[in-house]
Chain A
């Protein structure tokens, strides 16, 4: 199996902290800026990167990522851009995954997609709308290509379901902190710590929490019980506000630095 994620989580554990995972859609605000943003995220302290594959019907996403996806698609972003950005991120030394709704993967060809992730140096794929029941081909191809399979579980998941889904994950389990779509929130839902506690009884894998985390305080709070903290909308909002130029890049790096302090003070 690919060792990038296990090594990262082992390192974080030895440093008594959580991993900071940053999300950015490919091609946003354009591909050139996206590369620089990834670089700023990593130099600010992001440990692992999720490259989003923008999709026309993102039902798991709130207004911020919807707008970013729409802009990226208007730029003509396609699979090759996703793999290019993934390779860029991996070359900068961060374990890098793709996060994609299922439709683009199926259309590209499941086997071809898995192979392309490996060739780009990626370590896994997060599939927010692929149920484990529809995963037979994906299980085979991700295994064959030695990439991690990350499914997203939710506070509404039953204990039996958590067991079933986490058994199909590798790398880490993605725990959605709340019932709802992506986007920044005033506070991290109280459901998140309970969900992580339940997951601990069903899986040995690291658990990363996403949805609604945008500040250092929130990162610290989540890091107190989770192994990874996922931040997406907050980075995108900065670019929407300041653009992908020098100012935006500086703000991205500052946010990464501040979140990275957060994940170091949780334990």
Chain B
């Protein structure tokens, strides 16, 4: 008797990366989600509803701001900021959340769960749940509930339940573990609204498709403003959703460099970092194959970063692939470099960025100085820094 044929083709691979490494219990839900997403892509009614929410709720299109005073510190390169920080709830995370929340409704599920590091994805999820009348539970590492206390309060005000996860490193990685356990148990009525381009197929594809709007808008905006494509597009990389969102529409534009900035923590050589591509190796984590911070036994190593949203030992599989084929570059920015850029943007442009985003801004200082005044850099300003005021005040020694 010959075994029935297995179709591995369709399962979300990016070269050797991606795929599905999950308990069989989740396969039906992942298949259902894949089908819902594919039908939504071709469903004018779904697209109209999403576009309507963007226009009347989250505030799209987001604007481009030219950062002239900041640019003086970046080798005089022209610096264009894509202002995802101005979205409702304060970051790019809402783009993905609104899309997946509509998918949840389409699938007839009444409850969403989410993981969050910085709290931005949790806040966005709690917001969409309130808007659409869904029950919402957010898993957050206990360490992160402390450093992002403001966002914990916001989620609770929005009616979500926040579960502080006390296992392991008590950060984003452990929050994802708990969310997966909840999902395995409650999958019949629950959608796991994953917040980044990691996890098993179809998440890396779905989240990318909902974040692509950043790059689609920005590409047209930059062309209109400057008459040409930018020389480089820059973004910070945690799981990689804001980066893939702005990179993806530029992938075919081979003259445009795509550069992701990972969290270098105390420096890659210190071992205390979250620079997964720069300092990790290929492996499997949270249902996908990608670069992972792991030891010789395949055990995940704890990551470190001043930024809760980048403090993750994995990264989206599409980034791993773009790195390996040389289409995108990834560099590490350490805590001090990020905090310098954070402060610089505050004082030169009157914009307080998220500490996650500050990694991309530090990258802009580096790349601007490398490319010089003729270069135009497009930077994804992925979020605002209200949530980080406490951390920044402590870092700079300001009395509160």
Q: How many residues of A contact B (CB 8 A)?
A: 45
User: Given the complex of chains A and B, what is the CA–CA distance between A176 and B24 in angstroms?
Assistant: 9
Q: Are B20 and A131 in contact (CB under 8 A)?
A: yes
Query: Residue B168 at the A interface, CB < 8 A?
Result: yes
A132 CB contact (under 8 Å) in B6, B173, B186, B294: B6
**Residues of chain A lying within 8 A (CB to CB) of residue B29:** 156
Q: Are B180 and A56 in contact (CB under 8 A)?
A: no
Stretch at the interface among B93-101, B102-110, B278-286, B360-368: B278-286
User: Given the complex of chains A and B, what is the CA–CA distance between A161 and B23 in angstroms?
Assistant: 13
**Residues of chain A lying within 8 A (CB to CB) of residue B296:** 78, 107
Which of B7, B25, B26, B181: most chain A Cβ within 10 A?
Answer: B25
Query: Residue B131 at the A interface, CB < 8 A?
Result: no
Query: Residue B400 at the A interface, CB < 8 A?
Result: no
Which of B181, B186, B297: most chain A Cβ within 10 A?
Answer: B297
A168 CB contact (under 8 Å) in B3, B11, B287: B3
User: Given the complex of chains A and B, what is the CA–CA distance between A167 and B4 in angstroms?
Assistant: 7
Q: Are B184 and A59 in contact (CB under 8 A)?
A: yes
Q: Are A152 and B8 in contact (CB under 8 A)?
A: no
Query: Residue A140 at the B interface, CB < 8 A?
Result: no
CB 8 Å contact bits of B265-305 with A (1 = contact, 0 = none)? 00000000000000000011111010010101111100000
Q: In the complex, what's the smallest C-beta–C-beta distance from B194 to chain A, in angstroms? A: 13
CB 8 Å contact bits of B1-25 with A (1 = contact, 0 = none)? 0011011100100000001111111
Q: Are B25 and A156 in contact (CB under 8 A)?
A: yes
Query: Residue B64 at the A interface, CB < 8 A?
Result: no
Q: Are A179 and B25 in contact (CB under 8 A)?
A: yes
Query: Residue A6 at the B interface, CB < 8 A?
Result: no
Q: Are B298 and A104 in contact (CB under 8 A)?
A: yes
Q: Are B25 and A56 in contact (CB under 8 A)?
A: no
User: Given the complex of chains A and B, what is the CA–CA distance between A154 and B24 in angstroms?
Assistant: 6
B24 CB contact (under 8 Å) in A66, A70, A157, A180: A157
Q: Are B4 and A60 in contact (CB under 8 A)?
A: no
Name the interface residues of A74-116: CB closer than 8 Å to any CB of B.
Answer: 78-79, 102-108
**Residues of chain A lying within 8 A (CB to CB) of residue B137:** none
Query: Residue A64 at the B interface, CB < 8 A?
Result: no
Closest 9 CB pairs of A and B: A107-B298, A154-B25, A104-B298, A167-B3, A103-B298, A59-B180, A180-B185, A133-B8, A56-B299
A residues in contact (CB < 8 Å) with B? 55-60, 62, 66, 70, 73, 78-79, 102-108, 128-134, 136, 151-158, 161, 163-165, 167-168, 176, 179-181
A-B contacts, 7 listed (Cβ < 8 Å): A59-B22, A59-B286, A105-B298, A107-B283, A129-B22, A134-B289, A165-B24
Q: Knowing that A106-B283, A179-B184 are A-B contacts, what are 15 other residue pairs whose CB atoms are under 8 Å apart, sorted by A's residue number? A: A56-B299, A59-B177, A104-B297, A107-B294, A108-B297, A129-B21, A129-B23, A131-B21, A134-B8, A152-B23, A152-B24, A156-B187, A164-B6, A179-B186, A179-B188
